[in-house]
């Protein structure tokens, strides 16, 4: 699922939100107390980057809706861990630092022939 889909954002799902401020609220009541939130820093990874990618997975969809770039690969953080987590410490890896090769093909989408159809996600928490 993408960060904006129901299973990720709904109180009856993972209840993940795009801002730290909202994630730090204790609970909210919709029809029932919803429990705590997750913070989803992946929202900021949508949109074209200098490297050419705009998510972690590219789908040329035959549907009338044209998302194309998706972020199915996500990091969700509980509010208790936010003091140990910096947004810049989560990234979509588009380049292999060991082999010094792009994980993107000439068309600017993940090179599924040599690597994978998804770009990997890396993050760290500074405990």
pLDDT in tens, 61-71: 767 777 889 99
How many domains does the chain contain in total? 1
Q: How far apart are CA 26 and CA 86, in angstroms?
A: 21
Question: Does residue 1 belong to any structural domain of this protein?
Answer: no
* Residue 70 tokens, joined: 């998706």
Query: 83: which DSSP letter?
Result: G
pLDDT in tens, 27-59: 777 766 667 899 999 999 988 887 778 999 998
Q: What is the predicted pLDDT for the residue at 85?
A: 97
Is the pLDDT reported for residue 1 higher than 80?
Answer: yes
| Percent residues over pLDDT 90 in the chain | 65
Average pLDDT over residues 72-78: 95
Owning domain of residue 64: 6-125
Question: Does residue 32 belong to any structural domain of this protein?
Answer: yes
Question: Does residue 98 belong to any structural domain of this protein?
Answer: yes
* Residue 37 tokens, joined: 């939130």
CA distances from 37 to 19, 74, 121 (A): 10, 15, 21
């Amino acid at each position: 699922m993408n960060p904006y889909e129901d299973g990720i954002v709904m109180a009856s799902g993972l209840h993940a939100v795009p801002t730290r401020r909202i994630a730090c609220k204790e609970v909210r009541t919709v029809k029932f107390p919803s429990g705590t939130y997750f913070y989803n820093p992946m929202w900021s990874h949508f949109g074209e980057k200098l490297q050419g990618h705009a998510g972690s997975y590219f789908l040329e969809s035959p549907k009338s809706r044209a998302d194309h770039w998706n972020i199915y690969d996500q990091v969700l953080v509980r509010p208790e861990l936010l003091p140990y987590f910096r947004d810049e410490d989560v990234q979509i890896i588009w380049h292999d630092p060991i082999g010094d090769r792009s994980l993107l093909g000439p068309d600017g989408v993940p090179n599924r022939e040599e690597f994978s159809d998804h770009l990997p996600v890396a993050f760290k928490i500074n405990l």
